[in-house]
């Protein structure tokens, strides 16, 4: 982002909250306190307006018609690609492939990058704290190819061990796939250090950035990752939108993921010539309105500035962690030194689902359960956690409301 | 800071003292060694998982019932109440209770039981109706009962 846009941005954090219409409602007679952004974030007015304007004035199919609406739709859709490329500092817009979400992005890499060359004896390395979407695609790939999935351990704080991962990265490893930020624990993994080690051994690295992009500045060139994946709906954009960043040389060499319209240059029954990047990977009519919304979400984030958001959330997470730890019988799950956005916890021996219901009745929305990270829950020996997750629109008032609601839950069960 | 937020009536209705008591101290809890029928119930979204053990005699009397597993207060209390209710009943009467409880919790016409029973303590589960996301927790053990009696030996999933 530029310093010029920073000057234009809001100066008071509470103003950010004002940009999100969904936050201004009552739930069960209480003002909504939304602490579930790690599951899905709310959308600011500029995103809602961009989608509506597109639907009302610009909708047509992209990359096809000579008529005005098709041109407008294409400009809006491709404009989002330019903005996202700038946002994560990709070296070229052709490195930004639009998908339906992080899950789709990871499956694309598994099937298109890994599967054609993977053979029995090869290895894929992941960590114990991954979301199911960064586990299951690799399990399926290993079943298809006879390769082996190797899982790097985590410690009691919820952090990976760099030296263990270093030891695992031998010549059998064909890909290292890690979360940038853990969705269940909030751990920020030391990905730059790990990527540096993987690079010296020629091992490509994929990062699941779904929980990182809304909270931290992400620079894919600085990270030097080969693939970076994230979802629109966790970064204030619409659902059904996702991004796969891939280094151009790798994407060029990969076969298409799905066949269909838009991913071709020429089709005959003798054979088909595939389209250029990134369209080779975008078969069929895309979620145009969704990506228009995602482009507006990225613009919104750039106007505020990711450093500011990161600092705001860091202070708020520290406040929330301190407040939670002062509640009797709260056990914090995920206590790594470097964390973002998320705090999982247990309240006495009350099942997280009961905690969630009692909180909801006081207007406080949190996520409860295994957070699509069942191996993490197994590691900590618990069925699930209560998880409060922050976004730029949260304030200390939200944390205070959470604490009041937890005291009420404690009273009901004591 | 005000930490004295009071639970609403709905919430008190959900977490009645009887429910909390059964959740804290579930009856007939633990594996039954001598069992003729059993079934597992899982609620994949919240991780509730329980196994119901029945001993059904030749005359179709349920002479023993136990359960084990873990889950939220509602699912554990419902399972515990189930064991208290059906112990000693005929399988036919137990299935009548199944239909009555499912009807109580869901109000679905399809589950409208032919025989209306006085549900007694089971009426404590009534408050769950106001919490649609929790109905599955309360019905889990009852679906497992249905599966166990019908000898399907299947895992019952709420999803």
Q: Which residue of A has its CA nearest to B71?
A: A351
Residue A14 neighbours by CB under 8 Å, 6+ apart = A395
**Residue among A352, A384, A400 whose CB faces B1 most closely:** A400
Residue-range definition of the domain harbouring residue B127: 16-157
Per-residue pLDDT at A13: 61
Per-residue pLDDT at B123: 94
Q: What are phi and psi of A316, to 5 degrees?
A: -70, -40
B3 pLDDT above the threshold of 60: no
Q: Is residue B76 domain-resident?
A: yes
Task: Report the gap between the CA of B89 and the closest CA in chain A (Å).
Answer: 31
Chain B hits for A412, Cβ within 8 Å: 7, 11, 15, 20
Per-residue tokens: A133: 């979407």
Q: Is residue B106 domain-resident?
A: yes
Q: Is residue B104 domain-resident?
A: yes
Q: Which residue of B has its CA nearest to A29?
A: B8
Angle between helices A306-325 and A396-413 (to 10 degrees): 30
Q: What are phi and psi of A158, to 5 degrees?
A: 95, 25
Per-residue tokens: A171: 């010549």
**Chain B contact present for A319, CB below 8 A:** no
Q: Is residue B152 domain-resident?
A: yes
Give the CATH number for residue B45. 3.90.1010.10
Q: What is the ipTM of this complex?
A: 0.86
Q: Euclidean distance between the first and final Cα of chain B, in Å?
A: 41
Alpha helix stretches (DSSP H) within A260-336: 288-304, 306-325
Q: State how far the Cα of B144 lies from the Cα of B158, in Å rounded to an integer.
A: 10
**Which of the four pLDDT bands, split at 50, 70 and 90, describes residue B154?**
low
- Chain A and chain B share a number of CB contacts under 8 A equal to 68
Task: Report the gap between the CA of A20 and the closest CA in chain B (Å).
Answer: 26
Mean pLDDT by 10 residues, chain A (414 residues): 42 78 96 98 98 97 90 96 98 98 98 98 98 98 98 98 98 98 98 98 98 98 98 98 98 94 88 92 96 98 97 97 96 98 96 95 95 94 95 97 96 90
Strand-pair partners of A173:
A123
Per-residue pLDDT at A10: 43
Q: Which residue of A has its CA nearest to B45?
A: A369
Q: Is residue B10 domain-resident?
A: no
Q: State how far the Cα of A246 lies from the Cα of A249, in Å rounded to an integer.
A: 8
In this complex, do A351 and B72 lie within 8 Å of one another by their Cβ atoms?
A: yes
pLDDT, tens only, B49-104: 999 999 999 999 999 999 999 999 999 999 999 999 999 999 999 999 999 999 99
In this complex, do A29 and B47 lie within 8 Å of one another by their Cβ atoms?
A: no
Q: Is residue B94 domain-resident?
A: yes
| Active-site choice (A142, A225, A303, A372) | A372
| A272, A264 Cβ separation under 8 angstroms | yes
Closest CA to A243 of A283, A276, A213: A213
Q: Is residue B9 domain-resident?
A: no
Chain B hits for A403, Cβ within 8 Å: 1, 3
Per-residue pLDDT at A7: 41
Q: Is residue B119 domain-resident?
A: yes
**Chain B contact present for A384, CB below 8 A:** yes
**Chain B contact present for A353, CB below 8 A:** yes
In this complex, do B137 and A353 lie within 8 Å of one another by their Cβ atoms?
A: yes
B107 pLDDT above the threshold of 90: no
| A305, A280 Cβ separation under 8 angstroms | no
Per-residue pLDDT at A3: 43
Q: State how far the Cα of A311 lies from the Cα of A316, in Å rounded to an integer.
A: 9
- Strand-strand pairing, A123-127 and A173-179: parallel
Per-residue pLDDT at A8: 41
Interface of chain B against chain A, CB under 8 Å? 1-8, 10-11, 14-15, 20, 45-49, 70-74, 131, 133-134, 137
Indicate the number of domains in chain B: 1
Is A57 annotated as catalytic? Answer: no
């Amino acid at each position: 982002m530029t310093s010029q846009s920073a000057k234009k941005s809001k100066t008071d954090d509470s103003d950010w909250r004002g940009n999100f219409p969904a936050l201004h409602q009552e739930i069960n007679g209480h003002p909504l306190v939304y602490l579930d952004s790690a599951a899905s974030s709310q959308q600011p007015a500029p995103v809602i307006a961009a989608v509506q304007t597109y639907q009302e004035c610009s909708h047509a199919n992209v990359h096809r018609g000579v008529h005005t609406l098709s041109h407008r739709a294409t400009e809006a859709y491709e404009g989002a690609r330019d903005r996202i490329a700038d946002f994560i500092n990709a070296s070229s817009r052709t490195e930004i492939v639009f998908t339906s979400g992080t899950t789709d992005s990871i499956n694309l890499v598994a099937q298109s990058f890994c599967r054609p060359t993977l053979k029995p004896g090869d290895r894929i390395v992941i960590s114990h704290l991954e979301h199911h979407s960064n586990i299951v695609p690799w399990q399926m790939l290993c079943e298809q190819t006879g390769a082996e999935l190797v899982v790097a351990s985590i410690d009691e704080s919820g952090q990976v061990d760099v030296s263990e991962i270093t030891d695992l990265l031998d010549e059998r490893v064909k890909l290292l796939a890690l979360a940038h930020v853990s969705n269940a624990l909030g751990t920020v993994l030391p990905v730059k250090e790990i990527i540096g080690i993987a690079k010296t051994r020629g091992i490509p690295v994929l990062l699941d950035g779904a929980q990182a992009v809304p909270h931290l500045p992400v620079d894919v060139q600085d990270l030097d990752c080969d693939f970076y994946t994230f979802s629109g709906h966790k970064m204030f954009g619409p659902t059904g939108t996702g991004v796969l960043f891939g280094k151009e040389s790798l994407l060029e060499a990969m076969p298409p993921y799905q066949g269909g319209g838009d991913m071709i240059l020429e089709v005959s029954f003798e054979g088909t010539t595939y389209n250029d990047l990134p369209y080779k990977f975008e078969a069929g009519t895309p979620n145009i309105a969704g990506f228009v919304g995602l482009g507006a979400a990225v613009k919104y984030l750039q106007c505020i500035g990711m450093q500011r958001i990161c600092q705001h959330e860091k202070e708020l997470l520290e406040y929330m962690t301190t407040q939670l730890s002062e509640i009797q019988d709260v056990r914090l799950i995920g206590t790594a030194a470097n964390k973002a956005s998320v705090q999982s916890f247990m309240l006495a021996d009350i099942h997280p689902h009961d905690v969630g219901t009692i909180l909801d009745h006081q207007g406080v929305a949190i996520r409860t359960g295994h957070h699509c990270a069942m191996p993490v829950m197994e590691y900590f020996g618990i069925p699930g956690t209560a998880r409060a997750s922050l976004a730029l629109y949260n304030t200390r008032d939200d944390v205070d409301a959470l604490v009041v609601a937890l005291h009420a839950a404690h009273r009901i069960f004591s | 800071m005000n930490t004295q937020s009071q639970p609403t009536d709905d919430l008190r209705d959900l977490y009645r003292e009887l429910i909390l008591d059964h959740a804290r101290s579930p009856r007939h809890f633990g594996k039954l060694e001598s069992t003729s029928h059993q079934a597992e119930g899982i609620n994949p979204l919240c991780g509730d998982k329980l196994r119901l053990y029945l001993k059904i005699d030749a005359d179709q009397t349920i002479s023993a019932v136990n359960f084990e597993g873990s889950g939220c207060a509602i699912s554990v209390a419902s399972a515990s109440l189930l064991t208290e209710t059906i112990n000693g009943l005929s399988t036919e009467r137990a299935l009548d209770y199944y239909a009555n409880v499912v009807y109580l919790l869901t109000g679905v016409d399809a589950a409208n039981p032919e025989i209306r029973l006085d549900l007694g303590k089971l009426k404590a589960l009534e408050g769950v109706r106001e919490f649609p996301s929790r109905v599955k927790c309360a019905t889990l053990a009852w679906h497992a009962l249905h599966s166990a009696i019908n000898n399907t030996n299947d895992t019952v999933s709420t999803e």
